[in-house]
């Protein structure tokens, strides 16, 4: 079967097996950079995330159908641990700013979970409109069952956007209740219309997909906890 091609007709992986791109920036002691690639123009963009030694990028996804990008990040330091949702957009820069992160000129970042009592995000997914999401919790530092939440993206007139969350259930995946066993991760997904939340669990002995429905998303009037 021939190797796939990009939309501009070029090879994703050349027939000889060599790696396509030779101009990637080198890494540094603080870790990697979050790069995005436009498969039509062939141009690179970069996300202004982390890069200060205490912010580490984790899982991420596009929010809705535009260029808003949300990442779950580890925010660590002395006597501090949280995994917030950070929203940003790709920006253009030269090589001198590839690793500037939050300090990049023109960077726009928002801590969406700043009103959450203890931000603990991990795997998550938005609906097609980018207004609702489902997320499981990380729990590496605070061991316990892996929890599942649904949430709403709120655009307030007097402050930047933020998220509200509501408890949905316990996944009972072995990722959390069996030490050093990862036969399944919840990795929840939300249907495009936001009606169904899907997640994985092996509580009954093997990885299976479970579906939750008939739930309600939090509303702004419920507060910001």
Q: What is the pLDDT of residues 90-117, one digit of tens each?
A: 877 777 777 777 777 777 889 999 998 8
Separation CA 155–CA 157 (nearest Å)? 7
pLDDT digit string, tens, across residues 134-172: 999 876 555 667 889 999 999 988 899 999 999 999 888
The predicted model scores a pTM of: 0.78
Q: CA 133: distance to chain centroid?
A: 11
SS3 of 165, please? Answer: strand
Q: How many CB atoms lie within 10 A of CB 133?
A: 27
79 has pLDDT over 90? no
Of 59, 34, 58, nearest to 48 by C-alpha is 34
Q: What is the DSSP letter of 212?
A: E
DSSP string, 91-103: B---GGGTT-GGG
Q: CA 187: distance to chain centroid?
A: 11
Average pLDDT, stretch 121-136?
Answer: 94
Separation CA 74–CA 52 (nearest Å)? 12
Separation CA 111–CA 52 (nearest Å)? 15
Of 221, 215, 181, nearest to 201 by C-alpha is 181
pLDDT at 225: 45
pLDDT digit string, tens, across residues 42-69: 777 778 776 666 677 788 899 987 788 9
pLDDT at 222: 47
Q: Label the pairing between strands 109-111 and 85-88.
A: antiparallel
């Amino acid at each position: 079967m021939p190797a796939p091609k990009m939309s501009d007709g070029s090879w994703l992986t050349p027939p000889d097996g060599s790696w396509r791109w030779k101009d990637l920036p080198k890494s540094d002691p603080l870790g990697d950079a979050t790069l995005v690639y436009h498969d039509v123009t062939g141009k690179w963009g970069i996300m202004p995330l982390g890069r200060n030694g205490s912010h580490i990028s984790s899982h991420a996804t596009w929010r809705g159908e535009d260029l808003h990008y949300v990442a779950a990040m580890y925010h660590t330091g002395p006597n501090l641990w949280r995994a917030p949702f950070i929203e940003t957009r790709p920006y253009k820069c030269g090589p001198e700013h590839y690793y500037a992160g939050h300090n990049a000129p023109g960077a726009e970042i928002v801590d969406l979970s700043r009103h959450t009592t203890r931000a603990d995000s991990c795997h998550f997914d938005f609906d097609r409109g980018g207004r609702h999401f489902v997320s499981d919790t990380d729990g590496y530092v605070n061991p316990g069952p892996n929890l599942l939440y649904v949430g709403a993206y709120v655009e307030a007139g007097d402050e930047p956007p933020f998220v509200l969350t509501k408890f949905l259930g316990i996944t009972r995946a072995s990722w959390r209740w069996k030490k050093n066993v990862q036969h399944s991760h919840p990795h929840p997904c939300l249907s495009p219309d936001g009606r169904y939340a899907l997640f994985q669990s092996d509580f009954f002995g093997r990885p299976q997909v479970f579906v939750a429905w008939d739930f309600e998303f939090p509303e702004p009037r419920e507060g910001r906890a």
